[in-house]
């Protein structure tokens, strides 16, 4: 019975822990300096501004933060 209670506690703490880690990593990515597309453009010198905008739309980076 004690093992079952232990497992239930662990399962219920797994959800908030996973949500917290997800939110923290999401915020760290958005608080980092620069933009992901500018980093990708540095590695691909043939990338045009149109390609950059298309990738921003594909990854959803053109939407507001609360919608992403």
How do the domains of the chain map onto residue ranges?
1-32, 33-68
On the question of pLDDT at 62 being above 90, the answer is no
C-alpha to C-alpha distance for 53 and 25, rounded to whole angstroms: 24
Section 3-28 average pLDDT: 95
Section 10-19 average pLDDT: 95
The string of pLDDT tens digits covering residues 19-57 is: 999 999 989 988 888 887 777 878 888 888 898 889 889
C-alpha to C-alpha distance for 18 and 24, rounded to whole angstroms: 10
The string of pLDDT tens digits covering residues 48-60 is: 889 888 988 998 8
Question: Which residues fall within 8 angstroms of residue 61, CB to CB, at 6 or more apart?
Answer: 35, 36, 37, 68
Report if pTM > 0.95: no
Number of H helices, E strands in the chain: 3, 0
Q: Measured in whole angstroms, how far is the alpha carbon of residue 43 from the centre of its chain?
A: 21
């Amino acid at each position: 019975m004690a093992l079952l209670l232990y497992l239930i506690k662990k399962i219920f703490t797994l959800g908030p822990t996973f949500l917290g880690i997800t939110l923290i990593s999401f915020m760290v990515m958005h608080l980092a300096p620069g933009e992901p597309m500018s980093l990708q453009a540095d590695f691909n010198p043939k990338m045009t501004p149109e390609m950059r905008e298309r990738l921003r739309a594909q990854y959803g980076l053109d939407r507001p933060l609360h919608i992403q």
